[in-house]
Structure 1
Amino acid sequence: MDSMQFNKIAGAVLLTVLIGFVITEVSHILVHPGSHGEVAYPVPEIAEDGAAPAEEEAPSLAVLLANADASAGASDFNKCKACHTIEEGGPNKVGPNLFGVLHNDIASHGGFAYSPVLSDMEGEWTFEKLDAFIANPRGYAQGTKMAFAGIKDAEDRADLLLYIRSFGDADAALPEPEAPAATEGEAAPASEDGDARQPANDGAAPAADQPADNAAEQTENGEAATSE
């Protein structure tokens, strides 16, 4: 290989390296990497022990009703007006008149032909039953003629139930929210005289203001006997 041929090969190699370097620099100038966009599906955070965080418990129907708004329920009832009336003495339409429906027997409104699945149901329309029925009519009563998709939002249903209650059932008592369970370490509930109830303490010394001669004495069979 003569020097001329070697120079040509070396020049070609250097030219290739130079072209690659120029392309890399130009690409960095033209393209500016930016921050990532919003995550399409966020992954739930994992606790240190590997367990997924517990989901917040949804409020109970009693809590929702305690905070419901009947005027908002009047707006929600517009979805029902095509099939129902609610005023006292109102006519049946595609569905029965709903005046006084709360705590009334299921499928008992006069002059309306109910579907067999509702006619065979026993009991009365409680808040809980109406809530479940309004949420998913066909899921609650499979075979019902009520062609309504239901109201999925629990707060909207509570508003609607409070509105329905105002027509003939204004005196119907709302469900009582359950009292939160006492957790370990919480103070015991107060007694009627306002003092906190103290747990029994086996083997504790008698109170300071109790006379010593009134303290309990141990009998032979192990039972405490108080002095007279």
Structure 2
Amino acid sequence: MRSEKQVLKLVEEGWLQQGEKLQKYGGGDRERPHLGATIGGRHEAPYRPSRRATHNLDVDFGEARYPTTVVQQGRFHGDEWVHDPTIRGWIHADSPGRLAVECADQLVAAGPAGWFLVTDRRVAVVVDAAVVTEENAGAVEKSEDDAKGFGRFLGKARSAVNAVAELSESLMGGNGLVTLWECQRDRLTETGSIKGRSSDGFSFSASRFDDGSIVEVATEVHLKGYL
């Protein structure tokens, strides 16, 4: 799994559009891979995605622990869930079809390999391209017997190789990151907030979308040149 410094370098060098500025980021934590959710009044921790990831992912969740019983059962007050060492954020929505839920589905699928990014133009979930495993990327032959002639078989094989190469280049985006989900910044009002009951608290990006849904994710403010 890439380090925070490596991911930020990839974001800056290839993922950002010309003139676009990264503002907040969060991810890459094997110990805090889960999200909690309150959707349509229903509590769920850990939250299980309602839709599949936009790409096939091979992510190691081997070290992930379950949230505490208190958080699983919803027996906490306000934002006390931030003190659970396995929870990286929480989503609030009146139905599963909201933007915050779409965002959360991809974050959960990507686990510790997924990153939540906020720029002056977009809100996005990206993942290290190394964990993307696309299947049936090209017209790969099942067996040589399926081809009508050796030349045709070789031609299709070359086409399959080219298709895989083109797909890999597209997924990599030239910088090793794959975008699983994104929306334009004008779809939300994003504000930072300090949560928790400790003296220093925890820094979260509280993103309220124009459909009323909210995703709160542990983030850091991006100070260009700091890392």
1 or 2, which has the higher strand percentage? 2
TM-score normalised by the shorter chain: which range applies?
under 0.3
Greater Rg over alpha carbons, structure: 1
TM-score (norm 1): 0.19
TM-score (norm 2): 0.19
Structure number with higher relative contact order (C-alpha < 8 Å, ≥ 6 residues apart): 2
